[in-house]
Amino acid sequence: MSSNKKYWKSVEELDQNSSVVEALRNNEFVEEIPTDEFLGNDGALSSSSTSRRDFLKYVGFSTAAATLAACEGPVNKSIPYVLQPEQIIPGVADYYATSVFDGFDFANLLVKTREGRPIKIDNNTIQGAAFSANARIHASILSLYDSMRLKEPKIEGKSAAWSAVDSKLKSSIVDAAAKGGQVVLLTSTLASPSSEKLIGEFIAKNPNAKHVVYDAISSSEALDAFETVYGERALVNYDFSKASLIVSVGADFLGDWQGGGYDSGYTQGRVPKAGKMSRHFQLEANMTLSGAAADKRLPMSTANQKQALVHIYNVVTGSSVGVTLEDKFKTEVTKAAQQLKAAGSKGVLVSGIQDKNAQLVVLAINQALASTAFTTSGVRQIRKGSNEKVNQLINDMKAGSVHTLIMSGVNPVYTLADSTSFVEALKKVKTSVSFSLKEDETALISTIAAAVPHYLESWNDVSFTKGSYGITQPTIRPLFNTKQFQDVLLSLNGMSGTFYDYIKGNASTIIAGSSWNKVLHDGVYVGVVPTVAAGSADYGAAATALAQSKASEGLELVLYTKTGLGDGQQANNPWLQEFPDPITRVSWDNYLTVSNADAKKYDLSNEIVANGGLNGSYASITTADGIKLENVPVIVQPGQAVGTIGLALGYGRKAALKEEMMVGLNAYPLYKSFNNVQSITLVKAEGEHEFACVQGQKTLMGRGDIIKETSLEIFNTKDAEIWNPQPMVSLDHKEVEATKVDLWSSFDRSVGHHFNLSIDLNSCTGCGACVIACHAENNVPVVGKAEIRRSRDMHWLRIDRYYSSESTFEGDNERKENIAGLSSSLSTFNEMEKAGDNPQVSFQPVMCQHCNHAPCETVCPVAATSHSRQGQNHMAYNRCVGTRYCANNCPYKVRRFNWFLYNKNSEFDYHMNDDLGRMVLNPDVNVRSRGVMEKCSMCIQMTQATILKAKNEGRVVIDGEFQTACSNACSNGAMKFGDINDKDAEVATLVADERMYHLLEHVGTKPNVIYHVKVRNT
């Protein structure tokens, strides 16, 4: 039936004689489309050739922020293609292999681009790509679109042309040679064959020049020890997959120790296979990711760690160096040492103690074991800094002998402990240049602030390990008027061409047997991996000197880097600021971690207040040299060694940051002599700090159906029904397995695809790479500290951290089972709510469980959430009216409610509030609005794209093709995704494994996410 209803957009349309209406009918575009602004004149356009990096010139129907980002600034118009680049197919993602090294983090990557915009980081899994992205590297794509970036070079704080920068630098170098002054290149570790060669040529041309390498987080003591023994400045690239016994003395090798990247090798030995798995002892002060994963953890101060290391040296080598190890540690340390010696070549020892003697003892122990995990082939080249040379540079600057200082990849005004001295010394340098991504603390006071491109806009080459080679290639045109440090260096050397030409020419001598195009396509190349010649040193003298080291008076401060912010380079990245720390579950802060015993001694406390937020005391600390840090918030940390305090570096930055990101306190002033251990005194300060903590529960409290755990002995000797018990319910007055009772009729899901996600608790280290990858893929908003504190975090994927109140989780279960009576129940549970002084720790990733019998679906009054035949629980955002019934009915608490509009809202001034930041958004995923529920979709856009690709190619989907953002990011193998209807698929095998269980199985929701019982080799 036809309708006579009249629709109109303005009152003018009701007047048929209106001249305005007629004009609008004949003029589709009210404003002239400004194609000339970016297409140029017809002659230039017709004679040009397009490439994928020219996409900004010929951009298609996409956000206009991308259109002019490389030129002047964003506009609010969408322009159709005039000439479509053949490489860009609208709606289809392109991937480019690249490698990243920022002086701290490194990885081999695939970069996903859409219509020319990089929008996501994936791991390069081609053979030879050995290093995967951590949480910070996954988040680095957002730093590309940081509106606070340095957009052009500046001289004396004023905008300048690159020609002026080039001219000033050249004249300064000439002036330095005439006056006998030094020209110093101060850089972070480069790990780039071409860059190092280029610097060598610069020094050869300028005899008064030298190169100083500075690592903000120093590994200099380990480098010095390795250089003493092997004659080369490098680090051992440990292969933990070859170790059956691992002893770590103060080394968080699952975190940032010596660059990190060891977790994938480690987890290969942590999954029980043929009844075997590796065993791990951890001796440490702070509770770390490595300590959380260990089978046996001993909390002890660094002073005690040094004595323990010498004791292990004595047992393994048969030496008799005198030690003063406390009795409470001796038994366990002796046990670890004896097992290490018995393991022989299958054992390995690592240490994070920043002492050359300690590092020499480590080399001695591994040599004595002939450890296969300790390999001197393919040594790491990602740390080469020298504390001695940095100190000498500062002295030279103070003496006025440094004429020109050229800095790249460093921010010493922020990261040096005595930055005040550096600032004063910098005033005596005639010309200082800071090549920086941002106008940071150092760039602000340098003569020249040289704007550099992001690594996704740059050419470079890398050699993370000796014998490996990788290419860094740009995936987008430079968004701003930037220039690479190496291109400027080429100009200073009087060489023509670009750094790209230089790399390509240099690569021909490295990639023998391959071609430039193949290496560019693959991103990596592995040639002959050389072995460093065997060496030795006076290990006995080193052990004796180490044993004689004295314990510090007062409290011991142990500085560390957090999984989220690392050394602080990406402090303006809201994804990382909001990322909850895996151990404390606190975001938007750094803090002092203290043991429960010390908290009682100094009257420090944490409490959960009425609104669910976590509050804590303040404390002020003072070093032996009088350096003071006032009003530092305190977290009472289970597992912290008594007499020690932890504090994270990387916070407290102010320069080139949005106000919301100026959080925490700068701990670098306490990093004296590049030593992460300092003697301090502590006093309680007035006031109470409000933390943004996403996890209120402190312990597991005997909830054995959430985290199922067993020992390797029981796993090997008992039936699965003992260590993986099935929950029982009553049916017709008989006990039956809960999984065999249904409240709803089941559908036949054997036809087509049926997706499952498997999570192995043995492999999960809590690293958080999956959390950030989920953010990037699914346009998850950042809500800020105030909202997090109200329990309104929007993470689709959380990693729950559980502590034990007894010595083990099984001890918790036994104590709960022995409760008798109401009064006993109340008192016992109250006691169990407190974590033990040295608890066991487990991490459990939790997202929407995509239940086949989903309780959320039955209560939605508008059918906004429904189940698919493929096993995914869908959300129709347009139908959702925000009743939140589904969230109330979800036993897993994985649904998130949009309390506010988080994009284009000045109240949430993060990346979604500006045009540049929104360039990172994935166009395949809707940006949700206020008042709707959202949650993990099991990345339906990725599964559907895989199905369509296979359909277009006329084939079936191959196992491994189906991925979610989290499974793709997980390099540890903890997350496996696939189709269980494919009986040959890996996930189908995992579903049938004896270790498999479902979360809250007794509820009967029949989830499509499965977990695997955690096995400890205790």
Calculate the CA 858 to chain-centre distance: 38
| Long-range CB pairs of 919-922, under 8 A, 24+ apart, other chains included | 919/63, 919/65, 919/66, 919/69, 919/117, 919/119, 919/145, 920/117, 920/118, 920/119, 920/141, 920/142, 920/144, 920/145, 920/776, 921/119, 921/779, 922/114, 922/119, 922/120, 922/776, 922/777, 922/778, 922/779
Which DSSP helix (H) or strand (E) runs through 109?
Answer: strand 106-114
What ranges make up the beta strands (E) of 389-542?
402-408, 431-436, 448-451, 460-462, 468-472, 524-526
The Cα 720–Cα 737 span in angstroms is 14
C-alpha 301/C-alpha 285 separation (Å) is: 5
CA distances from residue 821 to 462, 814, 826 in whole angstroms, order as listed: 65, 16, 9
User: What mean pLDDT value characterizes the chain?
Assistant: 88
Please give the Cα distance from 970 to 797 (Å, whole number).
13
Rounded to 10°, the helix 387-398/419-426 angle is: 50
**C-alpha distance across the termini of the chain, in Å:** 76
Within 10 A of 565 (CB to CB), how many other CB atoms are there? 26
Closest CA to 188 of 211, 154, 222, 221: 211
**CA-closest candidate to residue 679, choices 559, 792, 770, 570:** 559
pLDDT for the residue 37: 44
Quickly list DSSP for 356-411: HHHHHHHHHHHHHHT-SSS--BS-B-S----HHHHHHHHHHHHTT-EEEEEEES--
And the tokens for 243?
A: 């170790």
What's the pLDDT tens digit per position in 971-981? 999 999 999 99
Cβ atoms of residues 408 and 272 within 8 Å: no
Contact 123, 109 (CB under 8 A): yes
Contact, 367 vs 347, CB < 8 A? no
| Helices assigned H by DSSP within 548-584 | 574-578
Residue 587: predicted pLDDT: 94
The letter for the amino acid at 97 is: A
Contacts of 946 (CB under 8 A, 6+ apart): 957, 961, 962, 963
Q: Give the model confidence (pLDDT) of 546-580 as tens digits.
A: 999 888 788 999 999 999 999 999 999 999 999 99
**How do residues 701-729 score in pLDDT, each as one tens digit?**
777 788 999 999 999 999 988 998 888 88
Residue 101 has what pLDDT?
A: 95
Could you tell me if residue 1000 is left (phi over 0), alpha (psi between -120 and 50 degrees) or otherwise beta? left
Contact of 944 with 938, CB cutoff 8 Å = no
Taking alpha carbons only, the member of 234, 286, 293 closest to residue 263 is 293
Measured CA to CA, the distance from residue 382 to residue 978 in angstroms comes to 35
- Indicate if the pLDDT at residue 34 is higher than 60: no
**pLDDT-based confidence at residue 13 (cuts at 50, 70, 90):** low
pLDDT in tens, 810-839: 777 777 777 776 666 777 777 777 777 888
Q: How many angstroms separate the CA atoms of 774 and 799, rounded? A: 12
CB contact burial 10-29 (16+ within 10 A = b; e otherwise): eeeeeeeeeeebeeeeeeee
pLDDT above 50 for 16? yes
Q: Which of the four pLDDT bands, split at 50, 70 and 90, describes residue 527? A: confident
In angstroms, what CA-CA distances link 277 with 178, 242, 270, 713, 728?
65, 11, 5, 11, 31
Query: What is the pLDDT averaged over residues 142-171?
Result: 93
Largest Cα–Cα separation, the chain? 106
Judge whether residue 42 has pLDDT over 70: no
Give the residue from 328, 257, 350, 256 showing the smallest Cα distance to 641: 328
pLDDT over 80 at 783, yes or no: yes
pLDDT at 374 over 90: yes
**Are the C-beta atoms of residues 977 and 758 closer than 8 Å to each other?**
yes
DSSP 45-59: HHH----GGGTTTT-
Helix (H, G, I), strand (E, B) or coil at 144: helix
Report the C-alpha gap between 47 and 38 in whole angstroms: 15
- State percent of the chain over pLDDT 70: 91
User: What confidence category does residue 620 fall into, taking pLDDT thresholds of 50, 70 and 90?
Assistant: very high
pTM: 0.90
| Integer CA distances (angstroms), 660 to 632, 650, 783, 901, 928, in order | 18, 16, 11, 17, 22
pLDDT at 229: 93
Cα-Cα-Cα-Cα torsion 293, 294, 300, 303, nearest 10 degrees, comes to: -100
Whose tokens are 């196992």? That residue is 959
* Among 680, 641, 612, 208, residue whose Cα is nearest residue 402: 208
Question: Which has the closest alpha carbon to 539: 304, 283, 756, 356?
Answer: 356
pLDDT in tens, 431-462: 999 999 999 999 999 999 999 999 999 999 99
Mean pLDDT of 179-185: 93
> Count of residues for the chain?
1018
Alpha helices in 742-897 (DSSP H): 769-778, 785-789, 809-817, 822-832, 855-859, 885-889
Going by C-alpha positions, the residue among 507, 498, 502, 493 that lies closest to residue 406 is 493
Per-residue pLDDT band for 85 (boundaries 50, 70, 90) equals low
Task: Answer yes or no: is pLDDT of 66 > 80.
Answer: no
Burial class (CB in 10 A: 0-12, 13-18, 19+), 305: buried
Lowest mean pLDDT among 121-130, 743-752, 984-993: 743-752
Reduced to 3 states, what is the DSSP secondary structure of residue 816? helix
Considering only CA atoms, give the Rg of the chain: 30
Predicted local confidence at residue 531, as pLDDT: 85
Q: What is the mean pLDDT of residues 119-123?
A: 94
**Cβ-contact 116, 86 below 8 angstroms:** no
Per-residue CA distances from 395 to 173, 389, 715 (Å): 20, 10, 61
Residue 749's φ and ψ, nearest 5 degrees, are -110, 20
Side-chain half-sphere CA neighbours of 515 within 13 A: 3
Dihedral of the alpha carbons of 969, 973, 979, 982, in degrees to the nearest 10? 140
Write the CB contacts of 913 (distance below 8 Å, at least 6 apart in sequence): 903, 904, 905, 906
Counting Cα atoms < 13 Å in the Cβ hemisphere of 173 gives: 23
d(CA 550, CA 677): 13
Percent of the chain with pLDDT over 90: 71
Sheet with 209-213, strands from edge to edge, namely 158-159, 154-155, 448-451, 431-436, 402-408, 182-187, 209-213
Here the tokens at position 210 are 């030298």
Identify the residue whose tokens are 């959080």.
663
The residue-averaged pLDDT of 799-807 equals 86
C-alpha–C-alpha distance, residues 416 and 441, integer Å? 11
